[in-house]
Every structure is written in structure tokens, then in C-alpha cells.
């Protein structure tokens, strides 16, 4: 069972509002990720972090920003939401797997379904 | 960048049938992961593979890490209605983020 949490699960918000999607994990993972996914479609990496105070942009250009002030917390912020931001946002984290420290498994949170009207 | 070709894109099968799907890469991976995603939820890790030639099972699911390190397959035996969902493969080289396939959408007809 993955201990990674996202809030809110669903959010409907008007155009121009600032929103922050929360993600936290209690597995002690150093790496965290944000993906954007339209229903039933492929996953697009938008941000990732390999540790505190480290953030990188992913493959898909995004108008969102992220911060990593604490190991367990990786919030994503949209300064001014637009209808084109309507999507599902998935947070994930990865860490060392079991007995072999060279192996790394990645776990996903349940997602936040964002609708911008 | 690296790309994964996942096939088939979708499958419609009868309950009780076996299912096979695969992923191929243009480059070598040292980790392969297989996920299942149901509507409205995040992907759930099914199987992790770390060694070329490795064959790993998780209940009715079996996955293999290809010998060339450029492919992996997932088999589901004796499918049941709750197997319905989207199955994603993902691979990684070194410390880079995972590269995901576009998913195989599985429908099971009772």
C-alpha cells in the first residue's frame, strides 16, 4: 500500500483563480513527481524533484510551479487557472525498494481532478 | 528523447481468456515497471523488474524483462471482469524519470 496523499480529490474553480494542489508522502522518498493526464490518455511529466530545494521541469510545458521545502511535501500551484488546465493531476514518489538499494519503485497518489470553468 | 511503444492500444476479450501486452524501447532500460489504472484513480504498481531475463509473477499476472533490455511483456491469465482498466508500462535508465508507454486499454466481456 502506497502512503502518498493528494488533496483535494476534486476541484471546480473559476478562470483566473490561484490554486494549490497538495501532495504528501510518508514513505521517506527523496524523489517526487507531478504528472498531467487527460481521462484515459497517456501520462505527461510536468515537474519533478530529486530532493529538498531541487525542482526540474518535465517533458510537457506547464504554466504551473512547484516547490520542495520539505521532503514529504511537493505542492503544485497554478497562479491563474484557465479552462485549458482542466485535467487530472497525479503526484508520485519514488524511493529505494526493499533489500536492493539499487532498485527504485515509483508510487502514485489517487489524483486531483481539476475543472476550470 | 526516449520513447516506449506499447501494444496493443486496446483489447476486448472474453472472461477467462489470457491476455498479453508488450512494450518496446528504442534504448536500453535497467528498470521496467507495470501499472494498472482504473477510472478516476492513480496508477497502481503491479510488478517491478530490474534484471534482464527476469520473470516475475503477481497472482495471475506475469511480467518479463527482455534479454535485450529494450522490451518487456505482461501476461494476465484467466481474465476476470475486475481486470478491466488501462495498463501502463514504464522504463528507466539510471537516475532519470520514468518513461511511460501510452497504455493498453483492457475490456473484459463476461
pLDDT tens digits, one per residue of B67-108: 999 999 999 999 999 999 999 999 998 888 999 999 999 999
**pLDDT bucket at A1, cuts 50 / 70 / 90:** low
| Chain B residue with Cα closest to A42 | B102
| Residue among B42, B92, B98 minimizing CB distance to A111 | B42
Q: Chain A contact for B41, CB < 8 A?
A: yes
Give me the pLDDT at residue A97, please. 63
Q: Does residue B48 carry a pLDDT above 80?
A: yes
Q: CA distances (Å), B41 to each of A56, A100, A116, B11, in order?
A: 25, 29, 20, 20
Residue where the block lists cell 535497467: B30
pLDDT in tens, A34-90: 999 999 999 999 999 999 999 999 988 889 999 999 999 999 999 999 999 999 999
Facing residues of A77 across strands?
A20, A65
Output b/e per residue, B51-83; b: 16+ Cβ within 10 A: ebebebeeeebbbbbbeebbbbbbebeebeeeb
B95 and A CB contact within 8 Å: yes
Residues of A in contact with B45 (CB under 8 A): 2, 105-108
Helix (H) or strand (E) holding B37: strand B31-37
Distances (CA, A) of B1 to A25, A40, A49, B95, B98: 29, 23, 19, 15, 12
Calculate the CA A111 to chain-centre distance. 8
Query: What cell was used for A94?
Result: 519514488
CB proximity under 8 Å: A 87-116 to B = 90, 92, 97, 100, 102-111, 113
Contact B86 A40 (CB under 8 A): yes
Q: What percent of chain B has pLDDT over 90?
A: 93
Cα separation, A106 vs A97, whole angstroms: 9
B11–A contact, CB cutoff 8 A: no
Amino acid at each position: 500500500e502506497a502512503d502518498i496523499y493528494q488533496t483535494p480529490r476534486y476541484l471546480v474553480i473559476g478562470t483566473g483563480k490561484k490554486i494549490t494542489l497538495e501532495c504528501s508522502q510518508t514513505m521517506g522518498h527523496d524523489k517526487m513527481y507531478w504528472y498531467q493526464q487527460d481521462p484515459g490518455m497517456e501520462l505527461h511529466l510536468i515537474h519533478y524533484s530529486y530532493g529538498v530545494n531541487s525542482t526540474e521541469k518535465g517533458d510537457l510545458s506547464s504554466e504551473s510551479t512547484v516547490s520542495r521545502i520539505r521532503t514529504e511535501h511537493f505542492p503544485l500551484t497554478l497562479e491563474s487557472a484557465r479552462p485549458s488546465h482542466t485535467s487530472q493531476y497525479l503526484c508520485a514518489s519514488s524511493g529505494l525498494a526493499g533489500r536492493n538499494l539499487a532498485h527504485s519503485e515509483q508510487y502514485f497518489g489517487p489524483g486531483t481532478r481539476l475543472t476550470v470553468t | 528523447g526516449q520513447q516506449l511503444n506499447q501494444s496493443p492500444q486496446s483489447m476486448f476479450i472474453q472472461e477467462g481468456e489470457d491476455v498479453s501486452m508488450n512494450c518496446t524501447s528504442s534504448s536500453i532500460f535497467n528498470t521496467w515497471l507495470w501499472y494498472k489504472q482504473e477510472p478516476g484513480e492513480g496508477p497502481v504498481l503491479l510488478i517491478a523488474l530490474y534484471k534482464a531475463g527476469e520473470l516475475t509473477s503477481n497472482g495471475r499476472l506475469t511480467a518479463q524483462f527482455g534479454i535485450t533490455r529494450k522490451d518487456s511483456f505482461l501476461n494476465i491469465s484467466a481474465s476476470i471482469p475486475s481486470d478491466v482498466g488501462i495498463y501502463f508500462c514504464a522504463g528507466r535508465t539510471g537516475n532519470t524519470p520514468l518513461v511511460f508507454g501510452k497504455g493498453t486499454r483492457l475490456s473484459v466481456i463476461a
